[in-house]
Structure 1
Amino acid sequence: MKLKVILVVLFGTLFVGCKKEKTLSEYMVNSWETSYLKIEMPTVNKTDSLSVFEDKFDNNPERLAQSKYNKDGTFSAWFINPKEKNIQKQGESKGKWSLEKDSLFIEYFYGGRDVKVAYHISKTEEGFLGKSKYDWDNDGEFDDVLIMKTKKITTK
């Protein structure tokens, strides 16, 4: 009798512990806010000068980047000013996204140009970590490294 109870408890625990984890594609269908950003540009303006931009967004920033990835492969990204009483989306861009294994591919129009960039994505406790190599400084060299951390948010 005790053996049956132990086996039932053991298999019940095993069954509950085998809950299916969301795929990365399912995980990405959500709303996100950038909580850390670092861009290293080793040849800024075609020089041998290194320029590094880094923001932890922890000193009451004037702008926060947010985005929403939809199940149909579309997304939108915008900025908000958290200091405003009625927070409005500013500078909204719309585009397309797709995943291939652990690579996120996004296409959108921003700042007067078409942007097509790939990120290596990994899940984190709060959201996801994205890393890309791209021409972020518009100097013609695809040698700039961007590291971005996000957290899940609720949007209207």
Structure 2
Amino acid sequence: MKTKTLFFITLFGMLFASCEPELSTKDYMINSWETTYLKIEMETVNNTDSLNVVEDKFDNNPELVAQSKYNKDGTFSAWFKNKQGNHVSNSSGKWNVVEDSLTVEFHYGGRDMKVSYHITKTENGFVGKSKYDWDNDGKFDDLLTMKTKIIKNE
């Protein structure tokens, strides 16, 4: 075997062996998260032809910040952290991932919710997008876009 060929085979083998496999979306979600951006576009808010957009970039020292933790056993907890560092409005539920879709089930605000998000991994978090009935008008036509960052476990 020529030295040149052996060199390229060895180089390719080293590159292949040194590559870390990318985490699946399910394994990636097992972490703690903080919402850094939220936008909800409600096309037919309260059964009208009016568009209502709620958007928050959480960049002006907000009163509350949404955080969550996804556990390996398929459970999660979510809360708001206030300026004093206390957790308020705690909720918990179940989660599952199929390919790039995250589904969460929980009870919040007096109603049972089951919401699916398309997840796109980012460098230090993820972007979740979901169509759901966020304005509770019976139509699943409201688009939510959420950006997150990883936070350290408490």
TM-score, normalised to structure 2, is 0.92
Residue matched to 1:110: 108
RMSD: 1.6
The 2-side partners of 1:66 and 1:154 are apart by: 11
Residue matched to 1:50: 51
Q: Does 1:141 align with 2:139?
A: yes
Q: How many residues align?
A: 152
Displacement over 2 Å in runs of 4+: 1-11
Residue matched to 1:60: 61
TM-score, normalised to structure 1, is 0.91
Residue matched to 1:128: 126
Deviates more, 1:2-11 or 1:115-124: 2-11
The 2-side partners of 1:94 and 1:38 are apart by: 22
The answer on whether the counterparts of 2:36 and 2:57 sit within 8 Å (CA) in structure 1 is: yes
* Offset from partner CA, 1:51-104 (integer Å, 9 cap, x none): 0000111111111000000011000000001x32xx111111000000111111
Structure 1 unmatched ranges of 5 or more: none
Matches within 5 A, 1:1-156: 3=4, 8-17=10-19, 19-81=20-82, 83-84=83-84, 87-156=85-154
The 2-side partners of 1:5 and 1:144 are apart by: 57
The answer on whether the counterparts of 2:31 and 2:153 sit within 8 Å (CA) in structure 1 is: no
Structure 2 unmatched ranges of 5 or more: none
The 1-side partners of 2:114 and 2:16 are apart by: 44
The 2-side partners of 1:72 and 1:129 are apart by: 22
Determine helix, strand or coil for the equivalent of 1:12.
helix
The 2-side partners of 1:65 and 1:27 are apart by: 19
